Chain A
Amino acid sequence: MANLEVAIGSLTLKNPVMLASGTSGSGEELHGLLQLDRVGAVVTKTVTLEPREGHPPPRTVETASGMVNAIGLANMGADAFIAEKLPPLVATGATVIASVAGFAEEEWGELAAKMDAAEGVSAVELNLSCPNTGEEKLIAQDPAQITAAVSKARAATSKPVIAKLTPNVTDIAGPAVAAADAGADAVTVANTLQALVVDWRRKKSRLGAPQGGFSGPAVKPHILYLVNRAAAGVNIPVIASGGIMTVEDVCEYLCVGASAVQIGTATFVDPSAAMKILDKLEPLLVSLGAEKLADYVGSYA
Chain B
Amino acid sequence: MFQENLIVGSNENVTGDYYLMHLEIGEREEETAIASAAKPGQFVQVRVHEGTAPLLRRPFTFYKARKRFFEILYKISGEGTRALCRYNKGERVDVVGPLGNGFTLVPDVDEHLLVAGGSGLASMYLLSRMCGRSPAKTVLLLGAQNKDDVPMRRSVAQDFDGLAIPIQVWTNDGSLGNTGFVTKALEKILQDAAKMRFAVYASGPIGMLRKVAELTTPFGIPTQISLEQHIACGLGVCEGCVVKTKDDSGSGYAYRKVCSDGPVFDPAIFEGYWDEIVEP
Contact = CB atoms under 8 A, between A and B. Distances in A.
A269 B233 CA distance: 7
A185 B231 CA distance: 36
A47 B215 CA distance: 41
B233 to A, nearest CB: 5
B53 A64 contact: yes
Main secondary structure of the interface of A (DSSP, over half): loop
A61 interface: yes
Contacts of A66: 55
Contact of A245 (B52, B229, B254): B52
Contacts of B94: 270
A269 B56 contact: yes
Contact of A33 (B52, B96, B278): B96
Given A64-B53, A65-B53, A268-B56, A24 B242 contact: no
Contacts of B239: 45, 54, 59, 71, 74
Main secondary structure of the interface of B (DSSP, over half): loop
Interface in B231-257: 232-244, 254-255
B253 to A, nearest CB: 9
Contacts, number: 100
A32 B2 contact: yes
Interface in B76-132: 94, 96
Nearest to B96: A271
B255 A25 contact: no
A22 B238 contact: yes
A268 B52 contact: no
A58 interface: yes
Given A216-B52, A245-B52, A71 B47 contact: no
Contacts of B237: 23-25, 29-30, 45, 267
A134 interface: no
B232 A60 contact: yes
A67 interface: yes
Interface string A205-220: 0000000000011100
B276 A29 contact: no
Contacts of B244: 56-57
A248 interface: no
Contact of B235 (A25, A69, A217): A25
Interface string A7-50: 00000000000000011110001111100000000000100000
Contacts of A33: 1-3, 96, 235
Contacts of B233: 23, 267-268, 271
B238 A23 contact: yes
Contact of A216 (B47, B55, B230, B255): B55
A57 B56 contact: no
Contact of A29 (B229, B236, B242, B280): B236
A58 B3 contact: no
B278 A268 contact: no
A69 B234 CA distance: 15
Given A33-B3, A57-B278, A59-B240, A270 B47 contact: yes
Nearest to B54: A62
Interface of B: 1-3, 47, 52-57, 94, 96, 229-230, 232-244, 254-255, 260, 276, 278, 280
Given A53-B255, A269-B55, 6 more contacts: A29-B260, A45-B239, A64-B53, A67-B55, A267-B233, A268-B57
25 contacts: A23-B233, A24-B237, A25-B236, A25-B237, A29-B235, A54-B239, A58-B278, A59-B242, A60-B232, A60-B238, A60-B240, A60-B241, A62-B54, A62-B55, A62-B56, A64-B53, A65-B55, A66-B55, A69-B232, A74-B239, A268-B232, A268-B233, A269-B56, A271-B233, A271-B235
